[in-house]
Amino acid sequence: LPAGLSQWFPALEVLDVSGTGLAEMGTELLSLPCLHTLLAKNNRLGGPGSLPKGLGQAPLARSLRVLNLSGNRFSEVPPELLRLRGLRSLSLGGNRLHSIPPDIQELQSLEFLYLGGNFITAIPPELAKLPSLRYLVLCDNKIQSIPPQLAQLHSLRSLSLHNNLLTYLPREILNLVHLEELSLRGNPLVVRFVRDLTYNPPSLQELAGRTVKTRNIPYTPSDLPESLVRYLSLASNCPNPKCGGVYFDSCVRQIKFVDFCGKYRLPLMHYLCSPECSSPYSSASQSSTSQSESDSEDEASVAAHRMQKVLLG
């Protein structure tokens, strides 16, 4: 960028330097107090010096709303970028990113995030800490799984996941009640029921602990070694809300298919306390299990109905 930029154009609000072969943007940016849109796509940015140091202290950190760095050579998100606290729209499409930094959560004003066409393999759960995120594009990457925390993105309207390496989705995806669009094509989603074969059977200690908890066997700290008292306090409730079971370290991942009225089946990953949890005879009391089984299927099909309109082919 030419030196003296901020002297000649102190009121500059929009700067488009796309397709100019730019390899670095330096301190000339730091003294532009009114800049809200910076478009620098299709350049040679990506090395050190792509963004100026001291960005966090510059007026730009609060004024910049839109940043487009698509079609460059970034192999990682530059840390300086994460100081742009006012940023609403960020595009890093068509770069060479292999990961998303957890500190992406610092961009608290972010509404639009485009990361399509990179080499991203995983999504950090911290991405879910962006309360205003409405539009998230992760298509054409190498993503193998979606963290269930992503369902905490309450503002999410559009999620683009097409052309990745997803075999299943977390069942929490049904919680995104405001989602209007979801693209999943071009993923190797399993179409047939696949039991997770890496389930490790629980230890004897775990089985004993489960029995103590589910049968409400009374005990006092003087009845057991301190280590076992502590162990018993760590019991987690089975995520299946209709199962009264608990687990300690051993839980089953099971794929259940949510049927979109017979037209499209989505494999959703459920976490359960045991392989028997979803069957009519679970480890909890037997009185309500077949009812609870169909209740949770009803919840799933209500959510499925909503999602059916959302799925893009």
Binding interface with other proteins (CB under 8 A): 41-42, 70-71, 91, 93-94, 114, 116-117, 135, 137, 139-140, 157-158, 160, 162, 180-181, 183, 185-186, 189, 191, 263-264, 312-313
**In whole angstroms, how close is the CB of 86 to other proteins at the nearest point?**
22
- Nearest residue to 134 via CA among 110, 168, 105, 116: 110
Residues 6+ positions from 88 with CB-CB distance below 8 Å: 65, 66, 109, 110, 111, 112, 132
Backbone conformation region of residue 256, classed left if phi is above 0, alpha if psi is from -120 to 50, else beta? beta
**In whole angstroms, how close is the CB of 121 to other proteins at the nearest point?**
17
CB 252 within 8 A of CB 223: no
**In whole angstroms, how close is the CB of 42 to other proteins at the nearest point?**
6
- Rounded Cα–Cα distance for residues 42 and 113 (Å): 18
Judged by CB, which is closer to other proteins: 85, or 157? 157
For the chain, the helix, strand and coil percentages under 3-state DSSP, each to the nearest 5: 25, 15, 60
DSSP structure string for 51-80 = S-TTTTTSTHHHH--EEE-TTS--SS--GG
- Rounded Cα–Cα distance for residues 275 and 146 (Å): 23
Judged by CB, which is closer to other proteins: 166, or 238? 166
Judged by CB, which is closer to other proteins: 25, or 115? 115
CB 211 within 8 A of CB 306: no
**In whole angstroms, how close is the CB of 4 to other proteins at the nearest point?**
29
**In whole angstroms, how close is the CB of 216 to other proteins at the nearest point?**
47
Q: Which residues pair with 90 in a beta bridge?
A: 67, 113
Judged by CB, which is closer to other proteins: 137, or 252? 137
**In whole angstroms, how close is the CB of 219 to other proteins at the nearest point?**
52
- Rounded Cα–Cα distance for residues 162 and 143 (Å): 10
Judged by CB, which is closer to other proteins: 82, or 189? 189
Judged by CB, which is closer to other proteins: 42, or 240? 42
Q: Which residues pair with 267 in a beta bridge?
A: 257
- Nearest residue to 51 via CA among 34, 33, 76: 76
The secondary structure element, H or E, covering residue 140 is: none
Judged by CB, which is closer to other proteins: 2, or 313? 313
**In whole angstroms, how close is the CB of 105 to other proteins at the nearest point?**
22
The secondary structure element, H or E, covering residue 229 is: helix 226-233
Judged by CB, which is closer to other proteins: 117, or 209? 117
**In whole angstroms, how close is the CB of 143 to other proteins at the nearest point?**
14
